[in-house]
Amino acid sequence: MMSEEEKSSPFDEKTWAELPSLLDNLPEKVHLHIWCDPALGQEEREAVRLCEALSGRFSQLSHRVFPRRINYSYYPVIGVMGEENGETGDFNVRLIGLPSGFQITSLITAIQAVSFRGMTLEAKTRIMLSRLKTAVDVQLITADDNEGGPI
């Protein structure tokens, strides 16, 4: 039998088990800003619940709810904000509508992109580099006709 917390969770048990490998080692804090009016619809309530669940489980995440704004035609809108020098910084990353199903991948990827400041190195490499105790110089060489990766 499922507990009340499990019934109300936006993720199943398998997904919760996978998320720590993606969100536990974020190098920078990420703030999820939700523009919506939860009184107006289920999708907007679910967006708040989703962001609450993530920020409740992962210390590098937080969330805030803001009223709807005239510059968006569809709601909810989730803004993925970073932090610079203790201040929230807007990296202009937005998800329009409620991410669900495979779209959750877009939310997780957006969180990682903002936290890692858009670095395209593999996650494991970024984490290992963030844990170095001394400064190092890293050079990646790519061919001019293949910018997909290092040679």
Give per-10-residue mean pLDDT for the chain (151 aa): 53 87 92 96 94 95 95 92 88 90 88 83 76 78 55 44
- pLDDT of 127 reads 79
- pLDDT of 1 reads 44
- pLDDT of 151 reads 44
- pLDDT of 23 reads 94
- pLDDT of 148 reads 54
Written in H, E and C, the secondary structure of 29-92 is CEEEEEECCHHHCHHHHHHHHHHHHHHHHCCCEEEEEECCCCCCCCCCEEEEEEEECCEEEEEE
Q: Angle at which helices 104-115 and 13-23 pack, to 10 degrees?
A: 20
Residue 38: is the preceding peptide bond cis (ω within 30°)? no
The pTM score is 0.74
